[in-house]
Structure 1
Amino acid sequence: MVCPFDRAQALEQRQRDQAIDAQLAQARRESAGPSLSHCVDCDNEIPEARRALGGKKRCTPCQTGFEKGVQR
């Protein structure tokens, strides 16, 4: 007979793995395609090293604010 704690732990691990996979899939979709040369928020040039990652629309400061929910 399987211990209920083992079953709960296995379920929790499966849910965690699914959540991680969903976040990774979303990140891959967002980074698809070429990067823009200038930020959509502030119109400053996006550094070449950042553009090389692909799919970048914002400079680092604007992306940080966007992720924190700060509007410029």
Structure 2
Amino acid sequence: MAGGWTSDTSVQDQIDATVEDAIKRARSQLARGPGLSHCEECEAPIPQARRDAVPGVRLCVRCQEAEDRDAQAGSGFNRRGSKDSQLR
């Protein structure tokens, strides 16, 4: 139930927008083009099984894990702001 100036579907609309943003971000990070036989960061060979499983792979598992950790560390920003910040 919404109150004030909001519509009854505003909460669901915000959830849908958040999910759509996450999907777009994930799709934009997918590798494109031919995969590499050696990691572009450390030059370690990339096993054929990984190249078959991940089309367009460019990093070995170790470098990919490090990149994922770095990306996750900076993802705590809430672009839309919390309800409390909007009430101030």
Higher relative CO (Cα under 8 Å, sequence separation at least 6) belongs to 1
Distance 1:64 1:17 in 2: 24
Richer in helix (by share): 1
Instruction: Identify which of 9, 14, 17 aligns with 1:15.
Output: 17
Aligned-pair CA distance for 1:47: 0.9
Cα shift readout 1:17-70 (whole Å, capped 9, x = no counterpart): 32132123213xx3221110001121110011111221111100011112223x
State how 1:1-72 maps to structure 2 within 5 Å.
3-4=1-2, 6-27=8-29, 30-52=30-52, 53-69=54-70
Please tell me the root mean square deviation across aligned C-alpha atoms, in Å.
1.9
Which 5+ residue runs of structure 2 have no aligned equivalent? 71-88
Q: Which runs of 5+ in 1 are unaligned?
A: none
Deviation at 1:7, TM superposition (A): 2.5
TM-score, normalising length: structure 1: 0.69
Paired position in structure 1 for 2:84: none
Identity of aligned residues (%): 26
For residues 20 and 45 of structure 1, what CA distance do their matches in structure 2 show? Answer: 31
Mapped to 2, the partners of 1:67 and 1:59 lie a distance apart of 12
Contact 2:31 2:58 in 1 (8 A): no
Report the 3-state secondary structure (helix = DSSP H, G, I; strand = E; otherwise coil) of the residue aligned with 1:4: coil
Hey, what's the Cα distance between the residues in 2 that align with 1:25 and 1:68? 18
The letter for the 2-side match of 1:68 is: R
